[in-house]
Amino acid sequence: MPVTPARRIAFDVLRRVEAEGAYASDVLHAELGASGSLNFKSSNFKSEDAALATELALGVLRQRRLLDFILARQLKKPVEKLDLPVLLALRMGLYQLRFLERIPARAAVNESVELVKLAKKFSAATLVNAVLRRAADEAHNPAEEFLPQNLPLADRLGILHSHPTWIVERWLARIGGPQTLALLGANNRTPRLAGAVHTQNLAEALTPGAPPSQDDVFALLEKSGLRIESGVLLKNAFAISGGSPTRTEAFRKGLFSIQDEASQIIPLLLDVQPGDSVLDLCAAPGGKTASLVRAAGSAGLVIAADRHAHRLRAMRDQFKRLALGRVKLIELDAARPLPFHHEFNRILVDAPCSGTGTLARHPEIRWRLRPEQLAEFHHLQVALLKNALAQLASGGRLVYSTCSMEPEENEEVVADALRDAPSIHRVSDDKAAHTLAPHLAPRVKAEKLFDAAGHFRTSPADCPTDGFFAALLEKG
């Protein structure tokens, strides 16, 4: 029997994630985002196939540790000793058996067998068939039944919620059991796909003379078969479901962008005004830069820097779609002293980080990240922040942000960078909340988004967004 398009694409995405270090969301976007499929072109490819491919690829990555634990009970050799195509077929089959009730067990087993044949691992077909048939018999048994009774709590939670033990240990020690459980659960749910409307780009898409509005974009998207919901934090944000928004005419015309709501908030914290000089120091992929360019206006100066030329090229393509030409792109290593001879009154340092606030959206991170990398990130982040502060004009504002949940990358970075910077102080709680309040949805209180130290924070455990941290700093 032939393998369905969705399973074939998911299998290839998982192979590239494991073998090439790719990110699943990037591969899925390349294969599904624009034309239905890059590597599997079929006139029968439907939105349902795209949805299943996405669910399989990301679901298997989210539940990888639990899947491997259950598979290990049925195997005579360690899971890591299996050939990669065989392991991926087993994971996909078991995921369907335990997590996708609408898929018949027979289809999950048979198509997994066909996947190993497609990968020319014919000798493994019998193994895959036998293991998954046994797994189907116990698919409705709670995984807790399979755990040893004396297993430490962090290992138990790590297996059941499919996270590395070291991450669970950290969170248990810092935020306690209930909040850790909430965060683990949130990281295994499908995140909301959020967007931001660009009303400046509506003129060409509407009837001449019609006043541009957010509702016009929503109508265009709903006409394309998508479902639209209001944002949870921002009044100009929205959530999309029911299809691929990047395949719509509205997206191609730059009427909106896909961006998590917490990520949308970060550039708003800078409070950029028309005519400001703005430096976006770690700019790629450019979503926050676009917001800064619009806020600075035609009289402003926005410089977007990144150390990777290919990411700058991708930003240039993005800005072309968004009709943003008022931005200068510069390739540089911001960990070294910056080459600018003038100061900026607004600076954004959206630093490279572990990404532990995005484990639902980028589940492969949890399997790649190592504990010692947190110290490495900290060293880099302190250097970036210190170099940026040296370019901040008197009276100017700098926002340091990450999508990490870890203090080593957040408040500890700020503390280290400010130790030798007496002229820099944190923006007051009232001032920070006042900056953000005009942009928030009704009933969202700005002060609730800041912690006791005045830092902006979101957590997937509390809100359906990514986990973000931001410190607001001023000079003088």
Average pLDDT, the chain: 93
The Cα 24–Cα 27 span in angstroms is 5
**Mean pLDDT value across residues 113-131:** 96
Distance CA 200, CA 322 (A): 9
User: Of 306, 311, 301, 197, which Cα lies nearest the Cα of 255?
Assistant: 197
CB atoms inside a 10 Å sphere around CB 207: 6
pLDDT at 17 over 70: yes
The side-by-side arrangement of strands in the sheet containing 227-230 is 227-230, 237-241, 193-197, 256-258
* 415 three-class SS: helix
**Tokens for 218?**
């929503």
Q: How far apart are CA 88 and CA 24, in angstroms?
A: 14
Which domains, from first to last, does the chain contain?
5-146 (1.10.940.10), 193-258 (3.30.70.1170), 266-475 (3.40.50.150)
Whether the per-residue pLDDT at 29 is higher than 90: the answer is no
Give the pLDDT confidence of 157-213 residue by residue, as tens digits: 999 999 999 999 999 999 999 999 999 999 999 999 999 988 665 554 555 555 557
251-308 pLDDT tens trace? 998 999 999 999 999 999 999 999 999 999 999 999 999 999 999 999 999 999 999 9
- Cα separation, 83 vs 211, whole angstroms: 59
Kindly report, residue by residue over 216-256, the tens digit of the pLDDT. 889 989 998 999 999 999 999 999 998 889 888 889 989 99
pLDDT at 37 over 50: no
Q: Residues with catalytic annotation?
A: 403
Residues 6+ apart with CB under 8 A from 3: 11, 111, 114, 115, 118
Name residue 301's beta-bridge partners. 277
Give me the pLDDT at residue 34, please. 44
Closest CA to 162 of 360, 377, 361, 384: 360
| pLDDT tens, position by position, 402-442 | 999 999 999 999 999 999 899 999 999 899 999 999 999 99
Residues 441 and 452: their CA atoms lie apart, in Å, by 22
* Over residues 115-128, mean pLDDT: 96
- For residue 39, what pLDDT band results from cuts at 50, 70 and 90? very low
User: pLDDT per residue over 338-393, tens digit each?
Assistant: 999 999 999 999 999 999 999 999 999 999 999 999 999 999 999 999 999 999 99
Exposure string of 15-50, with b = 16+ CB inside 10 Å and e = fewer, is bbbbeeebbbbebbbbbbbeebbeebeeeebeeebb
